[in-house]
A and B are shown apart, each in its own frame.
Chain A
Amino acid sequence: MTTRLEEELADAMRSLTEGLRPTDGLVARALRRHRRRRMRSVAAAGTFVALAVVAVAAVQPMYARLGTTPDEPTMLTVAAIVERAAAALPPDQIQHSLTTDTRDGYSRECWRDPITGDSRCRDLPSRPGAGDTEYWLRVRPDPSGGKVWSYTMVDHAARTWTTRDARFPDGGSSRELEDPRSLFERDELYMEGEESIDGNDTFMLGRQIVDPTGIFVTEHIWVETDSFRLVRSLIFDSEYRSQTDYKWLSRDNESLELLNPVVPAGYSRR
């Protein structure tokens, strides 16, 4: 059964669009925009295009199908993207993150070894009077069970340093640098769209969160469309914004050395 409104609406839409034709050169214009976008990443893209093609071929059979016939196009669901993004987090590379936080006015640069749990962070002051501290956490098994966490903290403003150990049973304490895997373990992500970040195409996912104070905040997460590697996360509301950019370094002597505490000469111990 069709109402007259529905009939008139269909007629109105057909009348409006009758005789429309795209202007000449539409595909060429799209191609020029596409190429300009790709130009920014051509150096990086050139090196991994072959890898991406292999990767796409490998995961193609796993792509979720929205349709039911073989001729229908494939498109990943948000759940499939989240699953691949979680699986793409490197278990054996050093995680590097740079966080800028408008509430406390700092930038924090961190490195984390996912194998040992060792981490290092430096707070970079972005305004006068803000702290300039650096701290290392080294996690080692406790012979009597649990773990020993050794903290080293350097205050560059005061030119002092301190260290202390703490023992925790397995699973104890929550002061370890957050594992980005947790970003993908919470539900309710939805697709915001696709964006280019530093020349890399990314899926942009989002979720709404009620923070502990009862305020609604929005979280966005970007993962590369080719590798599903986490690129960025952002939490914001009307007055607050905290963005973290992620990179991964090979776990070699050079990157592991970053996790060894270093106290500059001339600093006094507190």
Chain B
Amino acid sequence: MVRNYDALTELVAVRGPALLATAVLLTGNRAAGEDLLQAGLERMMRSWRRVDGDIEAYLRRTMYHLAVDSWRVRRRRPEILVPVDPPPTDDGFERFALREALIRALGELPVRQRAVLVLRYFEQLSETEAAEVLGCAVGTVKSNASRGLSRLRELTASWEDLSNGVSR
């Protein structure tokens, strides 16, 4: 029996960049991100009969679950978090360096915290929506977001204004 996966091909053609962006943020690098996206597609093919409705939402949910499940199954690495200092000059390079530092620090977070931060600040989902994607309680999203941000704040504590600064 040959199944038709044209809908997946079309989805990747149109939404591939956005899906890969999410996968890269969840895994920390481009190669692992593409592996995660491919694994998500393969998992959808295995479950194709049960997929109903918005296939992009299903694929995103699958990728988040794959990322979090792989963390659950693997023994957690010991976390060695090294604070990142800002460069000495205060120009455009500082902002670039700060972003680099935040991305590095994001990659060091436990993947559930990382997933929550990606959902909240990259996907711009509400806490309730993020909880639905991850299949957990809203309180779990809140606590993971809080812990994740707190870790990032610790790691970038040397940047003045960042830790306590409030915008808007």
**Are A and B co-members of a single complex?**
yes
User: Which residues from chain A sit less than 8 Å from chain B, CB to CB?
Assistant: 1-17, 19-23, 26-27, 29-31, 33-34, 37, 46, 49, 52-53, 56, 60, 63, 66-67, 70-75, 77, 191-194, 201, 225
Task: Tell me the smallest distance from the CB of B23 to a CB of chain A, in Å.
Answer: 9
In whole angstroms, how far apart are the Cα atoms of A63 and B49 in the complex? 13
What per-residue 1/0 map shows which CB atoms of B111-130 lie under 8 Å from chain A?
00000011001100000000
In whole angstroms, how far apart are the Cα atoms of A63 and B12 in the complex? 27
Is residue B138 within 8 Å, beta carbon to beta carbon, of the partner chain? no
Measured CB to CB, the nearest residue on chain A to B99 is: A12
What are 27 A-B pairs at a CB distance below 8 A?
A: A1-B166, A2-B168, A5-B156, A5-B163, A7-B167, A8-B99, A9-B106, A12-B99, A12-B100, A12-B102, A12-B106, A13-B106, A13-B121, A20-B17, A20-B24, A22-B19, A26-B34, A27-B5, A27-B12, A27-B41, A31-B5, A37-B42, A71-B54, A73-B55, A193-B69, A193-B72, A193-B73
Contacting residue for A33 out of B37, B42, B164, CB 8 A: B42
Whether A193 contacts B42 by the Cβ 8 Å rule is: no
Contacting residue for B69 out of A1, A27, A77, A192, CB 8 A: A192
Task: Tell me the smallest distance from the CB of A68 to a CB of chain B, in Å.
Answer: 9
Beyond A26-B41, A193-B66, whether A72 also contacts B53 by CB under 8 A is yes
In whole angstroms, how far apart are the Cα atoms of A11 and B45 in the complex? 34
Q: What are the residues of chain B within 8 A of A2 when measuring CB–CB?
A: 166-168
Measured CB to CB, the nearest residue on chain A to B12 is: A27
Whether B149 contacts A17 by the Cβ 8 Å rule is: no
Is residue B162 within 8 Å, beta carbon to beta carbon, of the partner chain? yes
Whether A30 contacts B41 by the Cβ 8 Å rule is: yes
Beyond A27-B8, A31-B45, A75-B135, whether A22 also contacts B52 by CB under 8 A is no
Q: How many residues of B contact A (CB 8 A)?
A: 63
Is residue B80 within 8 Å, beta carbon to beta carbon, of the partner chain? no
In whole angstroms, how far apart are the Cα atoms of A74 and B50 in the complex? 8
Known: A5-B165, A30-B41, A56-B50. 17 other contacts (CB 8 A): A8-B98, A8-B162, A10-B121, A11-B99, A12-B98, A16-B24, A17-B20, A19-B17, A20-B24, A22-B20, A26-B12, A30-B39, A72-B54, A192-B69, A193-B69, A193-B72, A201-B47
In whole angstroms, how far apart are the Cα atoms of A35 and B89 in the complex? 55
In whole angstroms, how far apart are the Cα atoms of A16 and B73 in the complex? 28
Q: What are the residues of chain A within 8 A of B103 when measuring CB–CB?
A: 12-13, 16
Contacting residue for B20 out of A20, A27, A63, CB 8 A: A20
Whether B53 contacts A14 by the Cβ 8 Å rule is: no
Among B50, B103, B156, which residue has the most Cβ atoms of chain A within 10 A?
B50
In whole angstroms, how far apart are the Cα atoms of A14 and B37 in the complex? 18
Whether A27 contacts B9 by the Cβ 8 Å rule is: yes
Q: What are the residues of chain A within 8 A of B72 when measuring CB–CB?
A: 192-193
Is residue B57 within 8 Å, beta carbon to beta carbon, of the partner chain? yes
In whole angstroms, how far apart are the Cα atoms of A66 and B61 in the complex? 11
Whether A3 contacts B57 by the Cβ 8 Å rule is: no
Among A34, A73, A74, which residue has the most Cβ atoms of chain B within 10 A?
A73
Q: What are the residues of chain A within 8 A of B61 when measuring CB–CB?
A: 73, 75
Closest 8 CB pairs of A and B: A17-B21, A12-B99, A4-B165, A73-B58, A30-B41, A193-B69, A34-B45, A22-B16
Q: What are the residues of chain B within 8 A of A56 when measuring CB–CB?
A: 49-50
Task: Tell me the smallest distance from the CB of A257 to a CB of chain B, in Å.
Answer: 38
Q: What are the residues of chain B within 8 A of A37 when measuring CB–CB?
A: 42, 46
